[in-house]
Structure 1
Amino acid sequence: MKSFPIAAIGRALVAFAAWAMLAAVLHAGVAHAVQASDSDALSLIITYQTAPANRPALRRELQQSTARELARWKHDGRIRQYSLLFNRYADSDNWDALAVLTFATPDDLYRWRTIEQARPAALSGKALAVTASIHTTPVDMKRTVARDAQSPNAVYVVIPYKTLVPEDEYEKYADGYVLPQFNGWMDEGVLSGYALYTSQFPAGRPWNAMVVLQYRNETALSAREAVVARVRERLKSNPEWKAISDSKTNVRTEEQVVIADPVAVDQ
């Protein structure tokens, strides 16, 4: 029988261990692989505001009418996916409801105008009667990890930003600094999905980038600060992430955060 030197066997074992470690890392990455959207999937982000006294009526009409219509439009192929959220708290400085509608093609977005003519911003007549203001922002869905549409206890955190750098630089910042944190939160089990949007026509808008985070439940949301600190500490071992963290470059300013509950979500 042919013998093999101990050193050669040792080198082979080291090489195999390195390969196994790389495979494990790649497998972990696939578990929540970030999807760059197809040609920057076209979406509309619509916000609705009502008087505090009309919040129950607006929510009821969204549940009974708008949610049903969104499901029908998706079934008919008019929209690809949707999220309909309601601000947990009355807040006159912010929206009461938010809809994110994503379209498969530019033609589908163009055809949306026929729905707008009959149901402005996808609302019924009763919902429109109690709605004080509507803002519709055409956006591109830049990055996403699919959210759990069936989660009954999900809590959404919606964060608008004003970016201070060109869009391509902001995307690099998001890929190198922001998304690794989101993925870390998913590894910690508190986050079940997220999406990053940028405005197509940002001039004059109060924000030009928006992040929608889906937390698994209230317990996960309450652990947010501890998880953020833990993940950031872990990411300090990543040279790329640490370089961005240490640069202190002003890339964006955070606007008012909204905690919201799902009315209807179909991803």
Structure 2
Amino acid sequence: MYNFEFVKPSSIAEAVKALAEDGAQPLSGGQTLIPTLKQRLNQPDMLVSLTGIAEMKGIKAEGGALVIGGATPHAAVAAEAAAHYPALAALAGNIGDPAVRNRGTIGGSLANNDPSACYPSAALASGATIVTDRREIAADDYFQGMFATALDEGEIITAVRLPIPQKAAYVKFNQPASRFALTGVFVAKFADGVRVAITGASNDGVFRWAEAEAALSANFAPEALEGLSLSGDNMISDLHGTGPYRAHLCKVLAKRAVAAA
């Protein structure tokens, strides 16, 4: 590690002011940032902790949606969202290990947008709105590629608003060491149709599977996906699985998610 300044604001306004300083970077759960600091892959002059901001924590049901503060840890989502959005609670309860779930936050995960993270698939499948200190961003516009989002420099996620579907399920194939999704599929059925989001598969990051959405909107059953397939050409290929293997997993896991919803 190396020397840097550490500040812990108690309000969003204080955090925004601190982040306006040159070399300042926000710190939420730190599950990705701290390891990069240790490896000196990232060297900010100031870390601005968001964990002391009470208005960025908590979960509430509001107008048919679940509103979750950006600094809310995964463990709280797993415990408190179950009564309103069971699929989301189950997703949060299976992220990493207890240490990760008690430190990592939903806002931090969405801001980092790891290509194999679980929350991006939930946000995209739910048609969520990402609320920041400056604006509101639809999930369809927010995710812009691997580790890329619509966030501007210094912009922080203060809350996430997720519409609650009629039925939903998330099924992932675990990478056993990290418990990230090797591939994961979130299926959400709403009155006006079905949304299917896939993580851990594409080189472009989380994405919606339009053909599966159309098929499931017409017939919400696993067999509706029988004739569909995804190409492995632009899928992640590494020591854990080839592109075609991940493409195959997308269909298998989508069918399982529909059956579980």
Pair in the same fold by TM > 0.5: no
Query: How does the TM-score come out when normalised to structure 1?
Result: 0.26
Query: How does the TM-score come out when normalised to structure 2?
Result: 0.27
Larger Rg belongs to: 1
Structure with bigger strand share is: 1
Tell which has more relative contact order, 1 or 2 (C-alpha 8 A, sep 6+): 1
